[in-house]
């Protein structure tokens, strides 16, 4: 079986900043913040790690209660803001997923820093959520490598047997995607549809790097190699 684990933001879709705006509005709504919300790194990271850094920057205790309140507010703002932004599905993604979804020898999953609920909001907005049957998400772990391990466990639970790691691919747009794929022994496709150039991604030594998935044939040739 071929297992394909996709990142979301910058790989499948662009929300054009809806997630960042939703998080900033949630921080202001839940906590007494004076001044701007701290600018912390987002790309390639889990929501749990991002919120941990925001809490630290604003002197907020990183309790489970604070995390839960912030997450609930964020999801409400994301649901609203994603309707207003000029987001898009990235080149080649929709036809590729529609091609692969009916195949019994292919399992499509997610490996994302988004929370599970945030992933559903984003993908359902673009009518992509129905393609994915398993996933690893950013609700619990700050380390994306841990999310990759959870995703692999979910895959093996779904198919009820160990999988051949030579047939597992992680697809993402950041060096963190390459690193987490390597952490579980998977192969990696890097796509330059996010914040990193093709050259920057190639320096992280993925199995393949492409500008985008408008032409997936170079990748297809590696699926059975």
Is the pLDDT at 153 greater than 90, yes or no? yes
| Cα–Cα separations (whole angstroms), residue 55 to 51, 63, 209 | 6, 9, 35
pLDDT of residue 34: 82
**Both 157 and 205 in a single domain?**
yes
Q: What pTM, to 2 d.p., does this model score?
A: 0.96
**Both 32 and 121 in a single domain?**
no
- Which CATH number does the domain housing residue 117 bear? 3.40.50.1000
pLDDT of residue 164: 95
**Could you give the dihedral angle defined by the CA atoms of residues 108, 150, 169 and 144, in that order, rounded to the nearest 10 degrees?**
120
User: What is the mean pLDDT of the segment spanning 156-181?
Assistant: 97
Among 156, 143, 106, 74, residue whose Cα is nearest residue 6:
106
Is the pLDDT at 85 greater than 90, yes or no? no
Chosen domain end from 33, 50, 81: 81
Q: Domain range holding 185?
A: 2-15+88-220
Does the residue 55 lie in any domain? yes
**Both 8 and 72 in a single domain?**
no
The total of structural domains in the chain comes to 2
Q: pLDDT by residue (tens digit) across 127-144?
A: 999 999 999 999 999 999
CB 109 within 8 A of CB 4: yes
**Both 188 and 125 in a single domain?**
yes
């Amino acid at each position: 079986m071929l297992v394909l684990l996709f990142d979301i933001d910058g790989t499948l879709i662009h929300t054009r900043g809806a997630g960042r705006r939703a998080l900033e509005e949630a921080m202001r709504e839940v906590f007494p913040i004076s001044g701007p919300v701290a600018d912390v790194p987002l790309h390639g990271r889990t929501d749990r790690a991002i919120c941990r850094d925001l809490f630290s920057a604003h002197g907020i205790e990183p309790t489970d209660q604070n995390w839960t309140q912030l997450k609930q507010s964020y999801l409400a703002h994301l649901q609203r803001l994603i309707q207003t932004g000029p987001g898009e599905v990235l080149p080649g993604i929709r036809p590729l997923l529609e091609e692969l979804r009916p195949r019994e020898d292919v399992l499509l999953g997610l490996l994302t820093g988004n929370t599970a609920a945030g992933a559903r909001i984003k993908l359902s907005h673009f009518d992509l959520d129905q393609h994915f049957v398993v996933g690893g998400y950013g609700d619990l772990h700050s380390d994306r490598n841990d999310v990759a391990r959870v995703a692999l466990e979910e895959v093996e639970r779904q198919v009820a047997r160990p999988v051949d790691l030579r047939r597992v691919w992680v697809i993402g747009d950041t060096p963190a995607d390459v690193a987490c794929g390597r952490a579980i022994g998977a192969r990696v496709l890097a796509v330059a549809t996010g914040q990193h150039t093709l050259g920057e991604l190639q320096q992280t030594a993925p199995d393949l790097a492409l500008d985008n998935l408008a032409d997936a044939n170079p990748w297809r040739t590696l699926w059975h190699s």
